[in-house]
Amino acid sequence: MKIEINQHAGIGDILFLEPILRDLAISNEIYMPVVEPWHWQRHIPYVNFTNFTFQFDNYKQEFTPEYYPFRYANPIFRNYDLNDWHDFENCMLDKYRVLGLRDDMWLSLNVTRDKQNEDRLIEQLNLPKEFILVNEFSRAGNKSIAPITDLPIIHMREIDGFSVIDWCGVMELAAENHHVSTSTFYLLHMLGLDAKIYPRPNEDGLRGISQLIPMTKLTSVL
């Protein structure tokens, strides 16, 4: 059966859904319109990523066997207005709860890493022997993060030809990881790394992952 997924953006949201997508793909064809298909196809190869259009987003906001509007899982599950996004605490796990799935299923996140691209990025960055990796960027805005250290600090940034997932190798090499609450939270969990997670610079703060952090070995910094 062909299943369409409505979660067109939010790198963290798409990473968070990976265990569901993997399970659905066992016996179905999964189609997922996203803003940047190139970012995803080599990392989640069992999903057919296509270019997102707003017409698709306005299609319908109810779960059916052929259509999964995960973007609206929280208001659908809790009977909120579809434009009501106040419930940061439940917005992520409701993507699983709306299907009757376990809260901890997301912990099995496991995307396909492109080791060749990871090595190219490491070489291009010319990393020192020891360093601190900092990610200050989120969709909610930038968060100033200044670890107290004598080690050089490498800041994550967009580099043409590399996805955020291609930074996994750099994360593993870092002596410490300091990241604002954003998509790298999920990658750090997947890699089994200890890291410090800082609140977003808006009303969300750490609320969006407040129910997720206790499931991981990551540490929140208030």
Q: pLDDT tens for residues 167-218?
A: 999 999 999 999 999 999 999 999 999 999 999 988 788 999 999 999 999 9
Instruction: Convert the chain into a string of H (helix), E (strand) and C (coil).
Output: CEEEECCCCCHHHHHHHHHHHHHHCCCCEEEEEECCHHHHCCCCCCCEEEECCHHHHCCCCCCECCEECHHHHHHHHHCCCCCCCCCHHHCCCHHHHCCCCCHHHHHHCCCCCCHHHHHHHHHHHCCCCCCEEEECEECCEECCCCCCCCCCEEECCCCCCCCHHHHHHHHHHCCEEEEECCCHHHHHHHHCCCCEEECCCCCCCCHHHCCCHHHCCCEECC
* Residue 8: per-residue pLDDT: 82
Q: Does residue 53 surpass a pLDDT of 80?
A: no
pLDDT digit string, tens, across residues 153-166: 999 999 999 999 99
* Residue 170: per-residue pLDDT: 98
Instruction: Band the pLDDT of 83: cuts 50, 70, 90.
Output: confident
Q: Does residue 133 surpass a pLDDT of 90?
A: yes
Residue 142, φ and ψ in degrees, nearest 5: -85, 145
35 versus 130: which is more confidently predicted?
A: 130
| Calpha distance 51→37 (Å, rounded) | 6
**165 near 117, Cβ under 8 Å?**
no
Instruction: Band the pLDDT of 60: cuts 50, 70, 90.
Output: low
What is the percentage of the chain residues whose pLDDT exceeds 70? 96
Q: How many CB atoms lie within 10 A of CB 28?
A: 15
* Angle, in degrees to the nearest 10, between helices 184-191 and 11-24: 50
Q: In what order do the strands lie in the sheet with 29-34?
A: 48-51, 29-34, 2-5, 67-68
Q: Does residue 115 surpass a pLDDT of 80?
A: yes
